[in-house]
Amino acid sequence: MRFRIDLKIFIFLIIFYFTKQIEIYTMIMLFALIHELGHLLAGLLMGMKPEKIELMPFGVSISFKIKVEEYNKKIKKGNMLEIKKILVALAGPLTNFIIIIIASNINIDLFKALIIIYTNFLIMIFNLLPIYPLDGGRILKGILHINFGIKKSEFYTNIISKITVAIITMLSSVLILYIHNIAITLIDMYLWYLVIKEDIIYKKREKILENINKKTLENETNS
């Protein structure tokens, strides 16, 4: 298992420190870590092995190792692997929801309870956005994969992710006029970074598949 730290996290730390919002950022990172532990636990319970853990600007990302032969075997059994991946993606937001329920029912200071509830609600909603590779994007891709196959699932997930980020950017542009908080701009930038990065990966993968199909067609024609 590999561990990696995204160096952009240090830029975010510096920005939040000088804007006197480091406590908020620390709280977000703490509950984002618990969120990822939910993914990890769900993956382990379903027999999936963690391959890479990455510390990112707004949380932790855990990738699971899947053998090609196991993938093919699972697909033949009614897309069970995709269902597992959907359940693992749901486990993170579900963890935040459980924390909200606990914080709402235990006897602690009201102000502290509200901070815990508010932070976990934001993390839950943020991760359920239909933007890949956020949990919502993974759930969307899994559902589309089961119903339409891998190629269409990647295409539609890529399009929906871009549209969602564009809508969020427009809404946040209006919001920032009333709430002067740099965190809104940073989240926008981070979402665009994720979408652009995944779009580049998607286009590269499409190009490789296109070249493979061309070579296959040429070989069939020659034979």
Does residue 75 carry a pLDDT above 60? Answer: no
What would the pLDDT profile of 168-186 be if each residue is shown by its tens digit?
Answer: 999 988 888 787 777 788 8
Residue from 184, 79, 199 nearest 131 by CA: 199
Axis crossing angle, helix 80-105 with helix 22-45, rounded to the nearest 10? 130
Question: Residues of 187-204 as b/e, b for ≥16 C-beta within 10 angstroms?
Answer: bbeebeebbeebeeebee
Question: What is d(CA 60, CA 49) in angstroms, rounded to the nearest whole number?
Answer: 16
Question: What is residue 179's three-state secondary structure?
Answer: coil
pLDDT band at 218; cut points 50, 70, 90 = low
Q: Tokens 């995944």 sit at which residue?
A: 198
Question: What is d(CA 129, CA 140) in angstroms, rounded to the nearest whole number?
Answer: 10
2-5 and 49-56 beta bridge pairing = parallel
Order the strands of the 49-56 sheet from edge to edge.
Answer: 2-5, 49-56, 59-65
Report whether 127 contacts 136 (CB < 8 A). yes
pLDDT band at 74; cut points 50, 70, 90 = very low
Other CB atoms within a 10 A radius of the CB of residue 105 amount to 9
Residue from 52, 128, 46 nearest 95 by CA: 128
Please report, to the nearest 10 degrees, the dihedral formed by the alpha carbons of residues 192, 195, 199, 201 taken in order: 110
What would the pLDDT profile of 86-128 be if each residue is shown by its tens digit?
Answer: 999 999 999 999 999 999 998 888 888 999 999 999 999 999 9
Question: What is d(CA 152, CA 170) in angstroms, rounded to the nearest whole number?
Answer: 27
**Boundaries of every domain in the chain:** 1-128, 131-223
Does residue 213 carry a pLDDT above 90? Answer: no
Question: What is residue 193's three-state secondary structure?
Answer: helix
What would the pLDDT profile of 6-26 be if each residue is shown by its tens digit?
Answer: 777 788 788 888 878 788 888
Q: Give, in order, the Cα–Cα distances in Å from 53 to each of 4, 63, 68.
A: 6, 6, 21
